Structure 1
Amino acid sequence: MADNQKELELQIQELQQQLEQMKANRGPSVYDSYQTTLTSRYCSPEMSKLFSQRSRHSTWRKLWLILAESEKELGIDTITSEALEQMRSHLEVTDEDFEVARVEEKRRRHDVMAHVHAFGEVAPAAAGIIHYGATSCYVTDNTELILMKDAMDLLLRKLAKVIWNISKFATQWKDLPTLAYTHLQPAQLITVGKRAAEWAHNLQMDLERIEYERNALKFRGAQGTTGTHASFLEIFGGDGAKCDELNKLLCKKTGFPSCYDISTQTYTRKVDLVISNAVSGIASSAQKIAQDIRHLANWKEIEEPFEKDQIGSSAMAYKRNPMRSERICSLSRELMSKPVNFANTFADQWMERTLDDSAIRRMDIPEMFLLADAILMGLDNVSSGLVVYPKRIDARVQEELPFMITESIIMKLVAKGVSRQEAHEEIRVLSHQAGSAVKDEGKPNDLVARIKATEFFKPIWEELDTMLESGLYTGRSVEIVERFCGEGGVLDQRLKDYKGFLEKATTAELNV
């Protein structure tokens, strides 16, 4: 036992020496330890900063301050004005504060108490009242709720920007006919803009879901160790009304509408699950969009931005790999896995709380938002600079168009008194013959020539050439795009709250 104590003291001395080294700017290089690629490579500085240690632990201090302020307002005279002023003067955790907390945590094996002591060192008049009546989850859980609220605000603006980009793209290309696909086989024509409008529609649903969860988010507040208010009842001499007033003050000071009606030691981990379901919706929409773009790039119809000096392949110099869309898919796959973790964590909370929620949430909550942020940065970059090749698109349409007009040919023949079944059989035979020529012999699609050479179709021969105008077969695509993406349309109305941001927003620059 004595040996263990001696070893602990040596470790603490080592940490204190490291503190002195840090003060002298002789700390270890960041290149000597693992750094998450989310913050070093993919996500934005603002999202990275939001979930930084300084942001998190400075929020702890703000929560301790508003708790003390509120308790004083409700009659706790032992909390002095000097104590509050010292707390206000040291709300941002400094590098030195972190090192003090690190030494304390090594000694006490408790991160919250380590930071209580570190705060008390710089605010000595408040050292005795910091965390008064609170359990650790007062700072940890309420901080998570604050950070998630702020993170959703960041995501909503970036999501609105992507929707806006795609809406403008859809409007620009609303009348360019293109092949539609069902089962990844050519189907009836749509327009380039109509497909993009569907992308925007999916993202609109994500926007609305995240807005709902952000606005529904509540505060844990000061609920006591198991959510019974017991410690605060003692502080306020059994006055339950003051416990309620305390939580109203805390909500007012943090910008939350109210506290959750029921709390255990924590706010229910169901909250994390419903938020993750909403945020991960971005990933499923993004992966669908990025995969569509990857297919279109393979067909040489639409490509993501490709810079002048960008290299597609170290070996194959001609390649223009869709690396940005591939990155979006990769990050999306990881984000879509997060709700499973949150569901398992919620389900595994025995009784009023078990600590096996702690380590995984320290990773999953920040990563969920960092991933969503990185995905939206990628989508913003791609959707701002999509390159369309109209002639290539039309060439591919013309390869398939003869097959696609067969239904119209049948309808015209029936209108002239021909049996629908006979017309269907005749066109079926010729279609398969033309398809065989394309697939087995590598020849162009000659279905129209075959129809012109077959006496059965003589009633519509004169109409065939005009029937090959691709714009005749896109249905109401243009109208649909205008109604949804055009000026005064659905998205224009939906994004009104983001107009100020969108007018100033610039395209996200990717780190790599």
Structure 2
Amino acid sequence: MSEIFPPKGAVDLSAVEPKIALGALDGRYRGVVGPLVNDLSEASLNRARVFVEVEWLIHLLDKEILPGAPALTDADRAYLRQITTDFDGEAVAAMAAIESETRHDVKAVEYYLKAKLDAAADVLPGTVLPQLHEVVHIFCTSEDINNLSYALIIKSAVENTWLPQATGLVNDLRERALQAAEIPMLSRTHGQPATPTTLGKELAVFAHRLGRQLKRIKHTEYLGKINGATGTFSAHVTALPEVDWREVSRSFVADVLGLDWNPLTTQIESHDWQAELYADIARFNRIAHNFATDAWTYISWGFFHQNLAAQGSTGSSTMPHKVNPIRFENAEANLEISCGLLDVLAATLVTSRLQRDLTDSSTQRNVGTALGHSYLALDNLRKGLAGVDFDAARMAADLDENWEVLGEAIQQTMRVAAIAGAEGMENPYERLKELTRGNRVNGEQMREFVASLGMPAEFEARLLKLTPASYTGIAAELIENLPALED
């Protein structure tokens, strides 16, 4: 047992009111990730469960599937649907109180709704709602409600919150790529000076890569099922054999809830769509992580200057000259945490023992944390990118120190000249290797070498005009291949 810290007599922070968050997302970073609470919190899951139960009840009654069941009025439907729209902090507390008795989250939803049905008599004289206790949760196992609820909240979180942030990053990169389209920059392959590019083209590469992943994520299938205890409709056809239960299930999942119907399941919807989605988001994260590390490197070289006002950074606590690239470092860390969680979710959710086990119940409760760390990272990347200025002069100076990169252009031109019939163009690679490998070559030396080759005048003139800064091919024009994304 630790006897040093906390010191004796220290306040027990776990008992402090208001309650202190254990995790960083609900504590330090709540202001950034707060929008995800509306979809991926425990409260939002319960709200979705209420929504699914209410809509299932309405679906069955409006389709006249239950013989002898009363018809709903417009006022009845409005009252039922208001239970979801009015779901607030008081409702969260009421649900928690019921669950403390039931020790079962979905059963608590059922009891909560039955209490709401009884309360309808006070505001809707003559309503049939208090008579509908047995319709609540009929023909449902808990996983029928849960799988649909998770599909709804994950779909909403991705489409309404995460995707706009991710699309914003891609569009930010595209805009900065256009701004930097003509800025020449020395490339480095294997960390060594290589054929120059433009900064804009390099930013466009990331925008293109990330944009491809967004297309996959936007086409996610959000699957759902409602088919009973083992996916066989056994109780359904026993009680009401004349009903086309597959169509009832399909129409509810697809037409009412707007999800993709899964016709073949065990007790659970198999979660394969979730694994696919999390793998795609993790891949997006990793590409974004690649950008973060490159941006960090460009800052360390002085190619990017951080705007202090935009970054809001103090820098080092002891070295006042420093401006630390904290936005990009924070993004790296949170993308790594997000990917770790998403990988676990994708790997474990596709497996369930036989027709059902409960491991997915605890696992899925971490979806919000996984997406929260990604969302936080994207927020930092966007702020980090917006807070840097490009130093074209610094990049130009770097290019001017590396004339040897023109060796590739000279070699390939010698090959073309040789094919065209010019003499004295033998062994171009070996001759350039002797001149440049391990050597620093300046502009004068490179031009002297070109002039000594005896090339046809057309080729020689083109090479003599070439500089590292102008040796960027069509890099600036390649950005035209990058389409804009809709927010």
TM, length-normalised to structure 2? 0.82
Alignment check: 8 A CA contact 1:169 1:193 kept: yes
Contact 2:396 2:469 in 1 (8 A): no
Q: Does residue 233 of structure 1 match 2:221?
A: no
* Secondary structure in 1 matching 2:261: coil
Mapping of residues 412-491 of structure 1, within 5 Å: 415=417, 417-421=423-427, 424-432=429-437, 435=439, 445-450=440-445, 457=452, 459=454, 466-481=464-479, 483-485=480-482, 491=483
Structure 1 residue 347 displacement after superposition: 4.9
Q: 1:173 to 1:245 in 2, by over 3 A?
A: same
CA deviation after TM superposition for structure 1 residue 59, in Å: 1.5
- Tell me, yes or no, if structure 1 residue 100 matches structure 2 residue 84: no
Write out per-residue CA displacement over residues 268-289 of structure 1, whole angstroms, 9 at most, x where no aligned residue: 1222211111111221111011
2: CA distance between counterparts of 1:108 and 1:420? 87
2:292, 2:18 → 1: CA distance? 33
SS in structure 2 of the partner of residue 249 of structure 1: helix
The equivalent residue for 1:245 is 248
Q: In the alignment, which of 43, 53, 59 is matched to residue 54 of structure 1? A: 43
1:295-334 matched pairs, under 5 angstroms: 295-303=297-305, 305-307=307-309, 310-334=313-337
Partner residue in 2 for 1:372: 374
Query: How far apart are residue 299 of structure 1 and its match?
Result: 0.6
Letter of the aligned partner of 2:452 in structure 1? F
Displacement of 1:37 in angstroms is 2.0
Q: Which residue of 2 aligns with 1:439?
A: none
CA distance in structure 2 between the aligned counterparts of 1:390 and 1:33, rounded to whole angstroms: 45
* Equivalence for 1:441: none
For 1:300 and 1:30, the matched residues in 2 are separated by 45
Kindly state the Cα deviation for residue 413 of structure 1 after the two structures are TM-superposed.
6.3
The equivalent of 2:52 in structure 1 is 63
Partner of 2:401: 399
Residue equivalent to 1:274: 276
Whether the aligned pair in 2 keeps the contact of 1:163 and 1:203 (CA below 8 Å) is: yes
Is the counterpart of residue 139 in structure 1 residue 145 in structure 2? yes
Task: State the one-letter code of the partner of 1:158.
Answer: Q
Letter matched to residue 480 of structure 1? L
Q: Say if 1:464 and 1:68 are closer, same or farther in 2 by CA, change over 3 A.
A: closer
1:292 is displaced (CA, Å) by 0.7
Q: Report the equivalent of 2:224.
A: 219
2:195 and 2:296 map into 1 onto residues whose CA distance is 21
Structure 1 residue runs without a partner (length 5+)? 1-26, 436-444, 486-490, 503-512
Alignment map for 1:9-28 (pairs within 5 Å)? none
Q: Distance in 1 between matches of 2:412 and 2:347?
A: 56
Question: Which of 54, 67, 78 is residue 69 of structure 2 equivalent to?
Answer: 78
AA aligned to 2:29 is: R
**Equivalent in the alignment of 2:213:** 206
String of CA shifts for 1:125-144, please: whole Å, max 9, x gaps. Answer: 24443212211112211010
Deviation at 1:459, TM superposition (A): 4.8
Q: CA deviation at 1:243?
A: 4.7
| Distance in 1 between residues matched to 2:232 and 2:435, nearest whole Å | 79
- Aligned residues, how many? 445
Give the secondary-structure state (helix, strand or coil) at the position aligned to 2:195: strand
2:301 maps to amino acid: W
| One-letter code aligned to 1:71 | L
Q: Please tell me whether the aligned partners of residues 173 and 203 of structure 2 are also in contact (alpha carbons under 8 angstroms).
A: yes
Quick check: 1:177–1:394 contact (8 Å CA) kept in 2? yes
The equivalent of 2:122 in structure 1 is none
Aligned to 1:115: 109
- Aligned partners of 1:408, 1:243: CA distance in 2, in Å? 67
Separation in structure 2 between the aligned mates of residue 459 and residue 374 of structure 1, nearest angstrom: 60
1:20 corresponds in structure 2 to none
Classify 1:409/1:378 alpha carbon distance in 2 versus 1 (closer, same or farther; 3 Å): same
| 1:56 partner letter | L
RMSD value, Cα: 3.0
Q: What is aligned with 2:154?
A: 148
CA contact (8 A) 1:269 1:345 kept: no
Question: In the superposition, relative to structure 1, how do residues 468 and 144 fare at CA in structure 2: closer, same or farther (>3 Å)?
Answer: same
Cα 1:93/1:136, change in 2 over 3 Å: same
| Alpha-carbon distance in 2 for matches of 1:61, 1:79 | 21
Q: Which amino acid aligns with 2:230?
A: T
AA matched with 1:403:
E
Residue 410 of structure 1 deviates from its aligned partner by: 4.5
Tell me the amino acid that sits aligned with residue 188 of structure 1: T
Greater shift, 365-374 or 203-212, is seen at 365-374
Could you tell me whether the CA contact under 8 Å between 2:289 and 2:331 is conserved in 1? yes
Distance 1:233 1:383, change over 3 A: farther
Partner letter of residue 141 of structure 2?
T
Residue of structure 1 in register with 2:29 after alignment: 41
Query: Could you tell me how far apart the structure 2 residues matched to 1:96 and 1:242 are?
Result: 36
Report the Cα offset of residue 360 of structure 1.
1.7
SS class of match (2:196): strand
Taking every aligned residue pair, what percent have the same amino acid on both sides? 18
Instruction: Give the letter aligned to residue 35 of structure 2.
Output: E
Name the residue aligned to 2:6.
Answer: none
1:410-434 CA-partner distances (Å, limit 9, x unpaired):
466674632432x65554344357x
> Residue 105 of structure 1: CA displacement?
2.3
- Length-normalised TM-score, structure 1: 0.79
Give the aligned partner of residue 171 of structure 2: 164
- 1:177 pairs with one of 166, 172, 184: 184
Q: Quick check: 112-121 or 237-246, which moved more?
A: 237-246
The answer as to 2:260 corresponding to 1:288 is no
Is the Cα contact below 8 Å between 2:404 and 2:441 reproduced in 1? no
Cα distance in structure 1, aligned partners of 2:413 and 2:270: 64
- Residue 339 (structure 2) aligned to one of 333, 336, 340: 336
- Check conservation: 2:306, 2:323, Cα contact below 8 A: no
Query: Contact (CA 8 Å) 2:25, 2:373: kept in 1 or not?
Result: no
Q: Distance in 2 between matches of 1:448 and 1:38?
A: 57
Change (3 A) 1:355 1:314: same
